[in-house]
Amino acid sequence: MSQNKRTELIRKALDLFYQNGFHATGMDLVAERTGVSKTSIYKHFRTKEELILATLRLRDENFRNWLFRRMQELAPPPEDQLLALFDALGEWFSQSTFRGCMFIKASAEYQDRDHPINVQAMEHKRLLLEHFANLAEQADLDEPRALAAQILILKEGAIVLAAMSHSGAPAQDAKRAAERLVALASGS
């Protein structure tokens, strides 16, 4: 399998896992929907879990690239980017393909803290936290790491509620809470 076909397999499997869940998506369905035989899939991924890890890495890269770029497009100053996060989430929530957070789903389906899929899911959240903390530091906000953790909690809660309610309203609700946190951290 060429690198392009491997990448396409991962991309298509990502879509299937995101839409249907990890345990509910069998390798027969992956083979059927990707057009790649199970034999070929297993030549490149010894287990379904290895394929899941590859999809999570791709999703992490794609999602963070989109989110960070969109936050900066919406509001270039670092302090404002922390709030623009929720506007970007609102855009995501309004997409017909929105099905919640793939990493929350992964950690729910693979709950053992030492399981590689759970570890990969948590790594995604750690990278988000680092970015938010860096923005808070650049904005010279008080306790940037604590603020970043609070904003991450608001983000995650908004995603869960948006997926459950099929509504974009949690993005703006979370933004209003974040505005208060940022104002406190800036001494306003």
Could you tell me if residue 44 is inside a domain? no
d(CA 32, CA 13): 11
Could you tell me if residue 3 is inside a domain? no
Contact call for residues 103 and 125 (beta carbons, < 8 A)? yes
What is residue 2's predicted lDDT score, i.e. its pLDDT? 75
User: pLDDT digit string (tens) for 76-125?
Assistant: 999 999 999 999 999 999 999 999 999 999 999 999 999 999 999 999 99
d(CA 114, CA 58): 21
Could you tell me if residue 132 is inside a domain? yes
Could you tell me if residue 26 is inside a domain? no
Task: Give the domain range for residue 119.
Answer: 56-185
Could you tell me if residue 8 is inside a domain? no
- Looking at this protein, which amino acid is placed at residue 185? A
Could you tell me if residue 83 is inside a domain? yes
Could you tell me if residue 159 is inside a domain? yes
Q: What is the mean pLDDT of residues 3-26?
A: 94
Could you tell me if residue 161 is inside a domain? yes
- CATH number assigned to the domain comprising residue 70: 1.10.357.10
Q: What is the number of structural domains in the chain?
A: 1
